Amino acid sequence: MSTGDSAVQVVPADQALDVRNFEVSKPVMKRRETMAEHDARLYGTDKVSQHIKKYDTNGDGNFSVAEVKIIIEEIERDEEQVKGLKKVLCGVVFLCIIFIGVLLGIILGVSFCFLL
């Protein structure tokens, strides 16, 4: 048995009560921090810190040029999406105004027919 293997206590057969109840002594290891603890220590726990974690792809706590390019590309993509949604909103408002005008015209036309 090498020195790196876990040690097993050997008991003579006449002193063994139950063969199934043996204990393996585990080597004492330093506690490693979990991924959540690492992220909380490196980035923090607030919303901004979570965005920083999202864009820090290599996990070193610093932004590389490639990571900044990804951030800028996503911002530009979001800006284009906002522009498209503004156009859709303007179209819907315009159609609602036209629809209200048509309904108003119908109501006024019918009311003038009954007045004559």
Query: pLDDT tens digits, the chain, 116 residues: what are they?
Result: 445 555 555 555 555 555 555 555 555 545 676 777 777 777 777 787 777 778 888 877 788 888 889 999 999 999 999 999 999 999 999 999 999 999 999 999 988 888 77
Phi, psi of 21, rounded to the nearest 5 degrees: -100, 70
Q: Which two tokens stand for residue 10?
A: 């050997």
